A and B are shown apart, each in its own frame.
Chain A
Amino acid sequence: MTNTYIESFPAEAKVVRAAFYSSFLALAIGGLFGIVQTLHRTGYYRFMDSADYYTVLTAHGVLLAITFTIFFLVGVFTWAVTTSLDRPVEDIRFTWVWYGLMVVGTVLTAIPIFAGFTDSEMSASVLFTFYAPLQGHPLFYFGLVLFVVGTWLAGADWFRSWWAWKQEHPDERIPLPTFMVLTTTLMWYIATLGVAAAILLFLLPWSLGLVESVNPLLTRTLFWFFGHPVVYFWLMPAYMMWYIMLPKISGGKLFSDPLARVVFVLFLILSVPTGIHHQYLDPGIAEGFKFIAMTNTMFLLLPSLLTAFTVVASMEHGARQRGGTGYLGWLKALPWRDPVFAGMALAGLMFAAAGFSGMINAGMNINYLVHNTFWVVGHFHLTVGTAVALTFMAVTYWFLPQVTGKELWSRSVALGQVVLWFVGMTFMSNAMHRGGLLGIPRRTAEPQYEGFEFEAAVGSVGELDAQIALGGALLTLSLVLFFANVIGTALNSRSDDLPANEYADTLSGPSDAPLVLDNLKLWTAIAIVLVIFAYSFPLLSIIERGGLFGPELTELPVSIGPGLEYLSTTTVSTVTTAGETAIAIIAGVGS
């Protein structure tokens, strides 16, 4: 018998498996909406009303960026804590409670989103970025609250395990995977304060009719307080996999445990005080505050570059252990036939490209060129859509046998799937970036306009649309292969010939890392101070100018029909007023 996870921790394996399956369900539905949008936007196949595009977009964003990623994260983190501390969770009932809360939260959030497809009054087509003035049904916000509370309890569960372990091992360093989980969880606690405040103080009371209006800039700022660090919440499990699984699968060891700890500490400190870089074009926030956010964001390149160095060095070590030689010849010795390795390596490669486009987003001046264009969509399809999603899919091929005790259905199909994702995303994301440079807007059902055409420097917009549709089709095919493998594996019979539940050893271990790195209180305190520096003055200034609940504001309708009516009424009244004013002026001049 092999020492798989399910053999060591049968009760926890059930929770991890449930979290993974929940994640995959969200991926399936969200992915389906992905191809629907792709074909609609590009004009290749439009079977729904364009007003429904925004409901599809909301479902795609929420299900993939929140549900798919975070359910997978809680599965991986539970595995990491139990495996690295070598102890079960303290109370499995509590673990099921937070998982259940996340499921209930997801269902409650999904109900009003999907109701948007019906004639019901209920709707929440407010997109993943659900700030005002778009208003959703209260159930949407309530579901989100339950989901986030579920993740908070999950974090408490992991801290509880660590605390219990620490009592029994007072002089030992925190094992690296647990250290990664704890620092990421602390970052999440700080980050979600913003979204909790936005929902509980403003959006939910507003949606319930308890308050008449909100300050849109305030809810936007609180959303981005959470909206940028959530990116790192998705990314950290992928980073964890690159640090503790990739070196092992490469045949070697992690190059440096201390460097890995430094990286996670830097993410804890720097992830939150950066959100204002999403608001460079927002009037009402002074340029100086935006400059501070840009500086903090640029510092985030440091942990990413440290990761690139450490992970590639670890891969090279593994390749040389396998007989690889030469400056670049060692690359040939890597296990490219292993879908877990190939998927993670390709995801890492794509993440490098995402880093470059991210630097452009982060730069205040050059951001003006691409802000709210299709470029941004191309960027996050490289980050969350590839670095995160492809890594998650690749490690699934290692995790599934661990949590089911069954052999993977097909390694060849798995390899084809990860490669197909890479190729599909290359076509789609490249064309999105280039479209953004031409000024093609994001969040638009029909970016084709009468009497105006976007001009491409090379090729044509039609060719870019074709690339996007081709990429979307390849990604959909890749998803089909992924689910075939997941279902095939679930239906397989139990196997005794599975790899053991292990993660990478280190070349430079925890004893080489300064003790201060494990001082979680210190890093949390620094993170909070930085957040206060970055956010207190902008928030005070926004509240001072616009009020806590804003100037008089009527919520914008979330469907196209009433929206157009609202727009035409406003336009007619503005034009009438302007006309009357002009006539009065002319009359005045004439007399």
Chain B
Amino acid sequence: MRISKGALLVVIAFTAPLIVELRTVLAWVNVELTVLESAVLGIGLIGVLLVWALWPQSQNNATESAETE
């Protein structure tokens, strides 16, 4: 893992305000999302985060990461 499970949980939680307000921001540039589309986008973003966090690191990085644990 690239980050600890605790950090991953907090990062996922932090996507909540981003997703909630992304709709407002996109509306400024005339992109109107429905609630469902926002939810799908949110799930997609969390999916990307999970893939990034769980993707095996290269050996060098992994050693570095293990030292910081």
Contacts and interface: CB of A to CB of B under 8 A. Distances in A.
Interface of A: 322-324, 331-338, 342, 345-346, 353, 415-416, 419, 422-423, 426-427, 430, 434, 457-459, 463, 466-467
A336 B8 CA distance: 9
Contacts of B13: 346, 419, 422-423
Given A335-B6, A338-B6, A342-B6, A423 B16 contact: yes
Contact of A332 (B3, B16, B24): B3
Contacts, number: 60
Contacts of A416: 9
A332 B3 CA distance: 6
Contacts of B3: 332, 336
A338 B9 CA distance: 12
B7 A458 contact: no
A415 B9 CA distance: 9
B66 to A, nearest CB: 10
Given A322-B68, A323-B67, A342-B10, A337 B24 contact: no
Interface residues of B, number: 20
Given A332-B68, A338-B6, A423-B16, 15 more contacts: A323-B67, A332-B3, A336-B3, A336-B9, A336-B10, A342-B6, A346-B10, A416-B9, A422-B13, A422-B16, A430-B17, A430-B21, A457-B24, A459-B35, A463-B35
A457 B27 CA distance: 9
Shortest beta-carbon contacts, A-B, top 8 = A337-B6, A336-B6, A323-B68, A336-B7, A458-B27, A426-B16, A419-B13, A426-B17
Nearest to A411: B6
Contact of A334 (B7, B32, B35): B7
Given A423-B13, A457-B27, A458-B27, A415 B67 contact: no
A423 B12 CA distance: 10
Interface of chain B, main secondary structure: helix
Contacts of B16: 422-423, 426-427
A244 B68 CA distance: 24
6 contacts: A324-B68, A332-B2, A415-B6, A426-B17, A457-B24, A458-B23
B68 A458 contact: no
Nearest to B7: A336
Contact of A419 (B9, B21, B27): B9
A346 B7 CA distance: 12
A88 B7 CA distance: 39
Nearest to A422: B13
A95 to B, nearest CB: 37
Nearest to B35: A463
Contacts of B6: 335-338, 342, 415
B57 interface: no
